[in-house]
Amino acid sequence: MIRMLLALFLFALPAQAQERFITVASTTSTDQSGLFGHLLPRFQAATGIAVRIVALGTGQALDVGRRGDADVVFVHDKPAEDRFVAEGFGVERIQVMYNDFVVIGPKADPARIKDLKDVTEAFRRVQRAGAPFVSRGDRSGTHAAELRYWQEAGVRPAGAWYREVGQGMGPALNTAAAMNAYILADRATWLNFRNRADLDVLVQGDERLFNQYGVILVNPQRHAHVRVEMGRTFIAWLVGPDGQRAIADYKIGGEQLFFPNAQAAANRS
């Protein structure tokens, strides 16, 4: 009886079996910047395939792919992506686009890093000044990049000034705004972020702040249920002329957020 009712209830939920869709595990930066809101309707109009985005940190998104809970992962941490493919969870990593990281900090700038062109020098100065720095601390692509910069700066980030919040980009920015702290952020999320308080972009343009995104089909040999055809269609569209143009077209306040570079990769290899 109860089981029957349960079946009835579950059946009453929005029917979804008919819709052609894939699930893509991606990052908060691509989702919350509004990029997917711009790309996906175009993709669906062209192919009839709906894309369901689960937005997480890169580490978590790759875990979702590992467990077979997504058909495609679309993330930004090359070493972790290469590992994902090497372990046999993904078919192939294909580069799609890049944006960049920026170092955000209080306008008063107690560590005096404004307009530096060297991110590692900026990080060293923050540590030397003992100025509060908020770290994502969540194994995301941005967190991985931040840890690389500390390593290159020769600084072990630890102490009362270094606050690991274990949260996504937005919540971490909220924390930094409340603490008037320094933080590493991707430009797209920053431009979409409303609660800026007294924070501003202080360091940008260092080549090392380059942030590459890659897309990977989850390996159907590991997870037989992966929607291979639709997943391949999505990837092909992203790196093809239509997808690349749509990425370049996406702007906030006249500023382009993501720079397509799939073709460049193909030429190089």
Per CB under 8 A, residues contacting other proteins are 2, 5-6, 9-10, 12-14, 16, 23, 28, 32, 37, 52-55, 66-69, 168-171, 173-174, 177, 192-196, 223, 225
53/155 with CB nearer other proteins = 53
66/125 with CB nearer other proteins = 66
User: What is the crossing angle of helices 141-153 and 119-129, to 10°?
Assistant: 80
Instruction: Report, in Å, the least distance between residue 43 CB and other proteins.
Output: 14
43/149 with CB nearer other proteins = 43
DSSP string computed for 39-80: HHHHHHHHH--EEEEEEE-HHHHHHHHHTT--SEEEE--HHH
User: What residues contact 89, with CB distance under 8 A and at least 6 apart?
Assistant: 62, 65, 66, 218, 219, 222
57/157 with CB nearer other proteins = 57
Give the burial class of 129: count Cβ atoms within 10 A of its Cβ; 0-12 exposed, 13-18 middle, 19 or more buried: middle
Q: What is the CA radius of gyration of the chain?
A: 20
Instruction: Report, in Å, the least distance between residue 219 CB and other proteins.
Output: 12
User: CA–CA separation, 218 vs 62, rounded Å?
Assistant: 10
157/168 with CB nearer other proteins = 168
